């Protein structure tokens, strides 16, 4: 338990960092969630997703497996929960004063985030572990809301921005496509160039 079964190097118990016994802000429920989420992220960095089980996560997090099953009924739900948490926050909506400036900074930040191998591993696991009802959607829900907010702000400034769906196709499309399906996640310069293509 708590070790990978595929021969890759595993973190030994003595180097655990996610035990619930450690003090964290928030109540016991928040501590458990944080420990379980961190255990999943650690294990994904060490194991294949196929080898991941709830008892293994429980062991790494220092909680009982039943505690995990009570909140997340399957490894798929758990992965979606971790991904949803990871893909909220991290990237913030910039406020540069212009839509172009906002989108350039934001797209560059998303590209940087998606180039992180740990983020990629979590995203791929969340995509694979689920139907459309949970999993993949949570990797983009916050980004879509951020994009809509930037475009709405431009409209409230009296600007005439493109439709959200058009910008979503032009920015989130290639950003997530490259990260998910190719060996070359985007870099910030390329991401800023995507903005120039859609805004002209």
Q: Which residues bind its own copies (CB under 8 A)?
A: 6, 48-50, 74-76, 120-121, 124-132, 135-137, 139-140, 166, 168-170, 172-178, 180-183, 194, 197
Rounded to a whole number of angstroms, the minimum distance from the CB of residue 5 to its own copies is: 11
Rounded to a whole number of angstroms, the minimum distance from the CB of residue 120 to its own copies is: 8
DSSP characters over 127-144: HHT--TTSSTGGGTHHHH
CB nearer to its own copies: pick between 11 and 115 = 115
Q: How many CA atoms lie within 13 A of 63 on its CB side?
A: 27
CB nearer to its own copies: pick between 74 and 98 = 74
Residue tagged 């928030």 (tokens): 26
Rounded to a whole number of angstroms, the minimum distance from the CB of residue 169 to its own copies is: 4
Q: In Å, how far are 154, 178, 190 from 183, measured between CA atoms?
A: 34, 7, 15
Q: Residue 83 burial (CB < 10 Å; 0-12/13-18/19+)?
A: buried
CB nearer to its own copies: pick between 18 and 52 = 52
């Amino acid at each position: 338990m708590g070790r990978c079964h595929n021969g890759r190097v595993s973190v030994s118990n003595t180097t655990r960092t996610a035990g619930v016994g450690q003090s964290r802000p928030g109540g016991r429920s928040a501590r458990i969630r944080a420990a379980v989420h961190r255990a999943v992220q650690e294990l994904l960095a060490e194991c294949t997703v196929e080898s991941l089980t709830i008892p293994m996560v429980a062991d790494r997090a220092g909680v009982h497996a039943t505690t995990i099953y009570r909140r997340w009924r399957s490894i798929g739900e758990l992965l979606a929960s971790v991904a949803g948490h990871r893909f909220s926050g991290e990237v913030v909506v910039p406020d540069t004063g212009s839509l172009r400036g906002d989108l350039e900074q934001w797209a560059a930040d998303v590209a940087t985030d998606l180039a992180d191998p740990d983020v990629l591993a979590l995203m791929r696991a969340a995509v694979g572990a689920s139907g459309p009802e949970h999993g993949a959607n949570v990797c983009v829900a916050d980004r879509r809301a951020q994009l809509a907010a930037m475009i709405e702000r431009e409209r409230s400034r009296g600007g005439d921005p493109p439709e959200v769906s058009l910008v979503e196709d032009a920015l989130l499309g290639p950003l997530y496509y490259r990260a998910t399906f190719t060996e070359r996640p985007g870099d910030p310069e390329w991401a800023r160039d995507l903005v120039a293509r859609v805004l002209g």
